[in-house]
Amino acid sequence: MTCAHLSEVRPVQPQTDGCQECLEQGTQWVELRLCLSCGHVGCCNSSSGRHAQAHFHATGHPIVRAFRTGNDWAYCLEDGVYVDTEAIDQAVQAAIHHASRMRLQQHAKYFRLV
């Protein structure tokens, strides 16, 4: 089974240094997961909060990447499969490329109108 959600991947910055909800609630996490759609940082399913999973249920953002664990892997919560990190990096590049092309098109439209 492969993941069909690579188009949901964005060039994100981590929003927080640790699990966002655990930091707010003062609870501990085991490992961290970074949401590749918005940059939310949540804790793994071995943590008591399971906030990465909760974030997926709340938002539908499917793909997380291991965050500061010492291992680099990505996982699709929707499909329940690991996703090739090279494919993730390519999707991020494609998203950056798409965003800059959109900006250029907007510029072009602007100059034609003026």
- Applying CB under 5 A, the residues found at the interface with Zn ion are 3, 5, 19, 21-22, 29, 35, 37-38, 40, 43, 49, 51, 59, 61-62, 76, 78-79
Tokens of 108: 């072009």
Helices (H) and strands (E) in the chain, counts: 3, 5
Q: Do 15 and 30 touch, CB atoms closer than 8 A? A: no
Q: Closest separation between CB of residue 4 and Zn ion, Å?
A: 6
Burial state string for 22-61 with b = 16 or more CB within 10 A and e = fewer than 16: beeeeeebebbbbbbbebbbbbbeebebbbbbebbeeeeb
Which residue, 46 or 114, has its beta carbon nearer to Zn ion?
A: 46
Which residue, 73 or 105, has its beta carbon nearer to Zn ion?
A: 73
Q: Closest separation between CB of residue 101 and Zn ion, Å?
A: 24
Q: Closest separation between CB of residue 113 and Zn ion, Å?
A: 35
Which residue, 24 or 104, has its beta carbon nearer to Zn ion?
A: 24
Which residue, 57 or 101, has its beta carbon nearer to Zn ion?
A: 57
